[in-house]
Structure 1
């Protein structure tokens, strides 16, 4: 067997083995990738611990994982507990408001009456009857308690799955931190690129991983805090609705408006006009400016990625991968750009000849 045939057999066998390995770890791929990305973020802290602890590399990795657990898990448990309490109180308040004629009061508002008349006169829909809508809202609100119990059960199930995934991620992170230098050296050795090209590729992966996490999650946190303050000042449960605003910020195009527009409309229709105007102005000026200014600033580290590319990377990432797409999308785009730049440099003479032909 000649050398070329031998190489083909080896490469084919390697590809088959790699696919088989991927199928084995596919159910846990998100935890593994998240552990890799977090290792890039926390490695500077881990390095300091290693320097102070000397040869105790296992203990340094364990300590880094414990610190990360206290930073992430404990605050989340406290926040989720407070959110559940505020959510239960809001559900009870909503039920009482509906059963005491709150919906009918809104439908009697002059603005709503005019809007209904316009819709029934000019829009090609069946006639909108306020009494039917009020009946449906009352039915939904009467089921709110049951729905809240179901939601709480789902939340407990999701939290359990999150905790299991988190501890799996910690398990992987422990080995990634302990053997970080060895893993990077191995990657450099097996990637068939020059050292400068490997440096560019690995640096871009690290840069985009950091910017994607910072750009998406810190922006959501900032918008949630700002939105929660605005909702609290306007008379709503601040922690609960601030959390909802933080989650809504991940939704492309609509974003936080999914929360503050109905809340502002409710205030305007219940004659809290000053607070309704305040909430609109606060949400547009403060909460909206965070998304417009902070997210592009935090994600500007991605080489060659303008705002439009970042937008489509986030949009496509969410569509394909769900919440993890906020990291995967920008990462895929950035790696593609780096590989395209490497291709352009490697084939520059050929491309120049093609331009002149």
Structure 2
């Protein structure tokens, strides 16, 4: 008995020390954890290509991992550079057009629209605000249009800083990805050895993490690309810079509930107020029927089938993920929900006898 107590005590000391050391390691890597998680997820997506390359070059693991990372760079970075350049060009042209429109009577044309006149009259009659005059609105919009160029400069500087940060995180992710691809089997074996679960339970947990990681990426990012592409076509046909606003709609699609409506509703109202009623109706119908259907059909289709998660659970996992983690929460949220569901299923199986007795008592 004394020996047994001594061993148990040593185990507790070891567990506490291990938790403290693991927490200290987490604090060290916390600024880079998103890059590490993305490297892990992309390794799952890239592994079929990497595995095929390994069959062709079986005795050069380092070179194969480097080649896989190089392929990923060409797939992601090169197209992004072309898109970013085109977005900057179209954004610059758009800012100049806004300035010209604002300083050459465009504001007054909108304010003279019968619906705007009625809306202002209603606001001044029934809402508890000070009287709003068209002259004040024109003055505010004119000031905004005049300062728009300066705002674009500051926004461009921020975008450049974000792009620099993105590139740094991307290359850090590539560095981690290299080792994940090269040592994939060793890493999985180590995880299996450490987890205090049976082999079948480990298989279920690891398979679920892999499946949900892939579906979260495919469901969120492919939906954003598809909505951005379809929305860009609609905006281009309606007379707006297609690539610029398509990209903006792609980013807006990550916002739950509102989504791409944040872009196309103001654009539709603008077309309606300047007299392009036909194009306003076209843009509204296009975005509701085409762009909206992509979000309603494609995202749930790509993200269903994970640990019994239904559409409501997927919605709250995305909403909560963005709330707590930002954009990366589109992956973290579904992953946390799915792992929790798997652990509940394992708990239900291991304690089935106890739970049945509780139900019958």
| TM-score after normalising by structure 2 | 0.98
2:13 is equivalent to residue 9 of structure 1: yes
The match for 1:331 is 335
How far does the alpha carbon of each residue in 1:175-197 deviate from its partner, in whole angstroms, 9 at most, with x for none? 00000011001100100000000
Q: Unpaired segments of 5 or more residues in structure 2?
A: none
Aligned residues: 357
1:125 is displaced (CA, Å) by: 2.6
Give 1:127 shift.
Answer: 2.0
Aligned residues of 1:248 and 1:256 also touching (Cα < 8 A):
yes
Gaps of 5+ in 1: none
8 Å CA contact 1:211–1:301 kept in 2: the answer is no
Match of 1:148 among 140, 149, 152: 152
Out of 111, 118, 129, the position equivalent to 1:114 is 118
Match of 1:129 among 105, 127, 133: 133
Of residues 191, 195, 213, the one that matches 1:187 is 191
1:247-286 correspondence to structure 2 within 5 Å:
247-286=251-290
Match of 1:321 among 320, 325, 328: 325
C-alpha separation in 2, matches of 1:331 and 1:253: 20
2:90 to 86, 90, 96: 86
Deviation at 1:54, TM superposition (A): 1.1
User: Which residue of structure 1 lines up, in the alignment, with residue 165 of structure 2?
Assistant: 161
* CA–CA separation in structure 1 for the residues paired with 2:135 and 2:356: 72
Partner of 1:232: 236
CA distance in 2, matches of 1:301, 1:356: 32
- Inter-partner Cα distance in structure 1 for 2:278 and 2:232: 18
Offset of residue 244 of structure 1: 0.5
How much has 1:126 moved relative to structure 2? 2.5
**Pick aligned residue for 1:99 from 99, 103, 123:** 103
Task: Find the residue that maps to 2:255 and give its secondary structure.
Answer: coil
- Counterpart of 1:60 in structure 2 is 64
RMSD: 0.8
301, 314, 318: which is aligned to 2:305?
301
